[in-house]
Amino acid sequence: MESREDVRGQVLDFVFDGKFERYHADLAKLLEDPIFNYQAGLNQSQAGHLTYERSRFVHARIESPLEVLSQPYRLFALAEWPALMDVAAFSVLMVHYNLTLGSFFDHGLDRPGLAPHIKNLNELQHFGPFMATELGYGNNVAALRTTAEYDPATRTFRINTPDVLAQKYMSYSGFSDIQKTAVVMARLKYAGKDHGVYPFAVPLCNEDGMRPGIIASPCPEKPVQGLDNGLTWFDNVQIPAGNALLGQGEYVGEDGQLHLKSNNSRTRFLSSMSRIVPGRLCVASAGLGSARASVYLALKYAGRRLTNFPAQGDAPIIAYRSHHGPLFRALANGVGMTALLNRVKREYVTDTSHVPTKLSALISVVKCAATWEATSIINTCRERCGAQGIFSVNRIADYVSLLQGLVTAEGDNAVLMSTAISQLLGDSSPEAPAKLKAVGHISAGDVPVLLDLIQEHKKVALRNKLRQDEDADFTSLWNSAIEDAIDLGTSMAKSLGSREMVEACTRVRDAQTRQGLEALIKLFGLVEIERSAVFCIANGLLQAADLNAIQRQILECYDLLLTSYEGIIDGFGISEELLRAPLAASNYAVSFTRACGQPEYLYN
Ligand SMILES: Cc1cc2nc3c(=O)[nH]c(=O)nc-3n(C[C@H](O)[C@H](O)[C@H](O)COP(=O)(O)OP(=O)(O)OC[C@H]3O[C@@H](n4cnc5c(N)ncnc54)[C@H](O)[C@@H]3O)c2cc1C
């Protein structure tokens, strides 16, 4: 019999791919500091400033940002943990570490002129906003219109906003009392010619506030993430020529000559936006971290909140099928998507300097599938907690708002998923995939095989649809297939996630824990087959009667999980003490009463 600690360690390894102690444990511990206590009654500006303070706190206690950037697993862990206690901290930290300093890391470490900016950002003397999106250029950001025109007389670039649609939008320029150096994406213009989009280092605010020529205002209020997302206009802002973060071997010479490599505009843009690829892994990490925390909170509460059961008296609400069913589905999807993310992170870290197109597209699929799934998980958990689910102090409601940002930022899911699938579609095998085996009694090991076949059939169907009418113009052809492409992306993610779960499960030694995890894998697979049932029946892969067998097996999984779920969430690396959410406390009634400020004598 293994000890509870041993078993917990095995589940931690399963969830965190064996990397919890090395990359996550100290970050989780940091969150116990009182600076992360919930603070009531803050206005938008106070909440935003507190987030910057908390970000400074984290920065001061871990290795430097440049060291974090050199260990991608550490960056991903940083994306995951502070967001659990302050969802806006995800945005501040990840924009600063990954997008902004990361742009210097990728394009400017060896340029002496940039050293003071890198020092300021690395030491967090300055925060670093990343300014790509413009009011009229979001998903179409490649067409952005801010210009950086070279002025040979002064050997500077002049940054300009040509019109209202080209104002930088959503980046963090709303507070001018925090010193900042931004990375601004702009079109490099030299001798009247547009050379494409490059990153430029632009000091935004110093101790005297916003620099002359930069006109910025905070965007209107939005719920929860009280940060300083802003609208920014550049009016002839001069920066030294060396502030252009050009590619390897690209520079403005002493003689004022511009030396660029001839890249097509798409390659140039992707190279300038290189940090978006690890950024998407960070986004997925934050979304799934919050999703797992929501499941943890909702299941803890479900085990303690009593309600009357027909003819039985009081029992915990988890006993109801209508309660544990959705929560166990959420648990299975949260763990399954985490396994998928682990797999793709491993592929990414093998060579961060060269990310093949196919891997980049797969990372996009993972970002979308993970954040969509996390949105659904968090909303389910919110609802299953009743009124307790709507209070910020109980965390889950704040995670709802985090996910609203994550599905849109760093590539809106609908656009990103469909584009990524169009890049991955060519890989499907030309032959028709095999039929599905019978689904009457499936095992955990069958799940990846079944899900793989379903996604292969969907690929073939999508390719056929795109070929159907060769006379049709591409827009109408693509429009007829775009929703299928998004659906295929989800199936692809589920298939890969299930394979990774099965592999990770073989490393779990404790037989009882493995049995619980196998039930979770089976549930993950059955739920995906159920989701794809219309496609499967329409394409002759399943009979309508098979759905009864699927339903029966889903209920069997629920029963198995009722006896094993606690061991699984025990391995999420979180605790009631860390999250400090009254609803998950052992005595939630007292904790909530205290959080409301009722006098102690009532409950002590
Ligand atoms: C919380 C938050 C923080 C952010 N922080 C930053 C930041 O620090 N720096 C920065 O530069 N940007 C930032 N952004 C901006 C973010 O990158 C953009 O919001 C994102 O790129 C989407 O652009 P958009 O909002 O203009 O949406 P739009 O492009 O206007 O899209 C609106 C809708 O239209 C649909 N749509 C658009 N194009 C297509 C298409 N081709 N095919 C099908 N459907 C389409 C989309 O699916 C979406 O539903 C942030 C955004 C958020 C929400």
Indicate whether 421 pLDDT > 80: yes
Provide the CB-side half-sphere exposure for 601 (13 A, CA): 0
What's the pTM?
0.97
Residue to mutate, 408, 413, 480, ligand 1, most ligand atoms under 8 Å from C-beta:
408
Residue 244 has what pLDDT?
A: 96
Helices then strands (H, E): number in the chain?
Answer: 22, 14
Q: Is 174 in the pocket of ligand 1 (CB under 6 A)?
A: no
DSSP H or E stretch at residue 213 = none
| pLDDT tens profile 195-233 | 999 999 999 999 999 999 999 999 999 887 779 999 999
Does residue 226 share a domain with residue 165?
yes
Residue 192 has what pLDDT?
A: 94
**Is 582 within the bounds of a domain?**
no
Total domains in the chain come to: 3
Q: Is 171 in the pocket of ligand 1 (CB under 6 A)?
A: yes
Q: Is 239 in the pocket of ligand 1 (CB under 6 A)?
A: no
Does residue 214 share a domain with residue 76?
no
What number is the average pLDDT over the span 503-512? 97
Phi then psi for residue 201, to 5 deg, are: -85, 120
Residues 6+ apart with CB under 8 A from 335: 15, 292, 501, 520, 524, 568
Residue 23 has what pLDDT?
A: 98
Note whether 440 and 549 are within 8 A (CB): yes
Place of tokens 């309600």: 307
Q: Is 260 in the pocket of ligand 1 (CB under 6 A)?
A: no
Interval between CA 233 and ligand 1 midpoint (Å):
19
Task: Indicate the pLDDT class of residue 592, thresholds 50, 70 and 90.
Answer: very high
Q: 3-state secondary structure string, 301-363?
A: HHHHCEEEECCCEEEEHHHCHHHHHHHHHHHHHHHHHHHHHHHHHHHHHHCCCCCCHHHHHHH
**Is 496 within the bounds of a domain?**
yes
Cα dist from 512 to 273, 295, 498, 516, 571, whole Å: 46, 21, 20, 6, 14
Q: Is 371 in the pocket of ligand 1 (CB under 6 A)?
A: no
Domain closes at, from 222, 256, 272? 272
Neighbours of 129 (CB within 10 A): 30
Task: Indicate the pLDDT class of residue 33, thresholds 50, 70 and 90.
Answer: very high
CATH code: domain of residue 333:
1.20.140.10
Residue 470 has what pLDDT?
A: 65
Interval between CA 256 and ligand 1 midpoint (Å):
37
The span from the CA of 357 to the CA of 81, in Å, is 29
Place of tokens 């009124």: 387
Indicate whether 473 pLDDT > 70: yes
For ligand 1, atom 23, the nearest C-alpha belongs to: 138
Q: With pLDDT > 90 as the criterion, what percentage of the chain qualifies?
A: 88
Interval between CA 141 and ligand 1 midpoint (Å):
9
Atom of ligand 1 nearest to the CA of 136: 26
Task: Indicate the pLDDT class of residue 580, thresholds 50, 70 and 90.
Answer: very high
**Is 596 within the bounds of a domain?**
no
Neighbours of 250 (CB within 10 A): 18
Question: 181's torsion region: left (phi>0), alpha (psi -120 to 50) or beta?
Answer: beta
Residue 523 has what pLDDT?
A: 98
Does residue 434 share a domain with residue 556?
yes
Does residue 25 share a domain with residue 128?
no
Domain span at residue 570 reads: 276-576
Residue to mutate, 100, 400, 412, 417, ligand 1, most ligand atoms under 8 Å from C-beta:
412
What number is the average pLDDT over the span 311-339? 96
Residue 266 has what pLDDT?
A: 85
Does residue 547 share a domain with residue 479?
yes
Does residue 510 share a domain with residue 491?
yes
Q: Is 138 in the pocket of ligand 1 (CB under 6 A)?
A: yes
Closest residue by Cα to residue 445 from 492, 502, 497: 502
Indicate whether 430 pLDDT > 70: no
Q: Is 133 in the pocket of ligand 1 (CB under 6 A)?
A: yes
Indicate whether 468 pLDDT > 80: no
| pLDDT tens profile 235-273 | 999 999 999 999 888 888 889 999 988 778 888 899 999
| pLDDT tens profile 41-64 | 999 999 999 999 999 999 999 999
Q: Is 583 in the pocket of ligand 1 (CB under 6 A)?
A: no
**Is 592 within the bounds of a domain?**
no
**Is 302 within the bounds of a domain?**
yes
Atom of ligand 1 nearest to the CA of 414: 47
Interval between CA 419 and ligand 1 midpoint (Å):
15
